[in-house]
Amino acid sequence: MTAAPMQGRLGFTGRSKRARVGPLELIWGWGMGDLLRIGDLQRIALSLVLALSGTSAQAADEVEFYKGKQIALILSAGEGGGYTNYARAFAPYFSAHLPGHPNIVVQNMPGGGGIRAMNQLANNMPKDGTALGLVHSSVPFAPLYGVKAANFDPRQMSWIGSIATASAMCVAWKQSGIATFADLKQREFIVGGSGAGSQMETLPTMLNKLFGTKIKIISGYKGGNDVFLAMERGEVHGRCGGLVSSIRSTRPEWFPKKMVTVPIQIALERSKIFPDVPAVIEFAQEEKIRSILELVLSPQAMDRPIVGPGGLPPARLAMLRKAFHEGMNDPGFIAEAGKQNLEIDEVSGERLAQIVSRAYSMPPEIVRIAHESMNLTGSQTD
């Protein structure tokens, strides 16, 4: 009696078994008569080689991608300010930890409070990792507030990491006579600004709307360093939205020699550097005002962010984030930052994406009031 052919769960019949696993066809039997044909062996071997070589070739391509190339690091601020100092200090260490060690070229592109550089990066630069931006931390939130010139979606962009976190403040030239928050509510305080999208204009406008301060903004400066120069020349009284790190890196004598005063910290808590200067949230009497401040001050959690266009290959984005982390923790960079009085506080690219996403999920009413308080109706170019 002849046994009927067997039907197995893998879809084979008879004594010779055949199964397909991914790109491979597996064939085996129980006897010498069922030995695999030479052609079958060749097909299996070729499939294995192609599968393995494809993976290794892709990995090799990523490792070799930056070899002989350069990265354009676009700054949303003018030359000579804190952004330039941070970029030039960090670039060599960022490059050192990227496979291929690409040359990083710093390019200043001020305008529109940083929006010009972000638009260029999002819409006109290569989406392969050869163009990155070091932008104002307020810029990613401009579309949320309806800034007309902000033609980008920060949720679709490739966040690499942020070099620092920071608390904003108002800083006044000592001769201006502005020393306290009460002074800002009683006297006109003239500050410089660089465009409707920058903190130098959004934050003082917010203080005027929510707390009744009398801050007058003179717009049109290319960046924070130009505002500092204007303070020294007596053109303006000061700057709101300025950062301790910018002053320490570009004007290290200002604080020790008490050439400037700090009437208010535009922050959710007092800085350890200025424990006697109140944070603006201390003057918020309503919960709604506190929520508005939390949204408006979100950029402080991601100061000096590095970002790429949307559409970067995932493996390349991971490689950039890894190099950023290693560069931030490089002893050489830490020493260089200390030498230049640059405050550093690493924020991961994943965390930056979360901050942006959370801000864009805020209740519409809070976003509307925050928008109105900052008077973000458009942007300017310098």
What residue spans of the chain are helical by DSSP H?
38-64, 82-96, 115-124, 181-186, 199-211, 224-233, 244-250, 287-296, 314-328, 331-339, 349-359, 364-374
* Other beta carbons less than 10 A from residue 53's beta carbon: 11
Task: Looking at the structure, tell me whether residues 306 and 292 fall in a common domain.
Answer: no
Distance CA 194, CA 200 (A): 7
Return the sign of the alpha-carbon dihedral for residues 198, 334, 310, 102: positive
Q: Is residue 62 part of a domain?
A: no
In this prediction, residue 60 has a pLDDT band, given cuts at 50, 70 and 90, of: low
Instruction: Provide the residue range defining the domain that includes 31.
Output: 1-54
Q: Is the pTM of this model over 0.85?
A: no
Whether 185 and 292 share a structural domain: yes
Residue in 324, 327, 321 with CA at minimum distance from that of residue 350: 321
Give tens-digit pLDDT for 278-325.
999 999 989 899 999 989 888 888 989 999 999 999 999 999 999 999
Q: Same domain for 282 and 175? A: yes
One domain, residues 339 and 228? no
Same domain for 183 and 239, yes or no, is yes
Tell me whether residue 47 is in a domain.
yes
Residue 349 lies in a domain: yes
CATH code at position 185:
3.40.190.10
Amino acid at 40: D
Digit-coded pLDDT (tens) for 185-213: 999 999 999 876 678 998 999 999 999 99
Give the per-residue pLDDT at 243. 72
Looking at the fold, whether 173 and 277 belong to one and the same domain comes out as yes
Whether 89 is in a domain gets the answer yes
Single residue among 263, 298, 333 that ends a domain in this structure: 298
Domain presence at residue 379: no
Residue 66 and residue 31: Cα distance in Å, rounded? 54
In contact, 325 and 161? CB cutoff 8 Å: yes
- Name the nearest CA neighbour of 129 among 351, 323, 322, 317: 317
CATH number of the structural domain spanning residue 315: 3.40.190.150
Looking at the structure, do residues 219 and 271 belong to the same domain, yes or no? Answer: yes
- Are 158 and 174 within one domain? no
Any domain includes 306: yes
Residue type, 96: A
Number of structural domains (the chain) is 3
Tokens 């008879």 found at: 14
Domain limit, last residue, from 298, 319, 343: 298
Asked if residue 156 belongs to a domain, the reply is: yes
Lowest-pLDDT range of 44-53, 119-128, 147-156, 226-235: 44-53
Q: Across all residues in the chain, what is the average pLDDT?
A: 84
Residue 259 lies in a domain: yes
Whether residues 190 and 338 fall in one domain: no
Specify whether the CB–CB gap between 36 and 27 falls below 8 A: yes
Please say which residue of 242, 271, 298 terminates a domain: 298
> Do 319 and 291 belong to one domain?
no
Q: Are 242 and 288 found together in one domain?
A: yes
Would the CA dihedral through 177, 180, 186, 189 be positive or negative? Answer: positive
Residues 173 and 221 occupy one common structural domain: yes
Q: Which residue in this structure is represented by tokens 């690219």?
A: 349
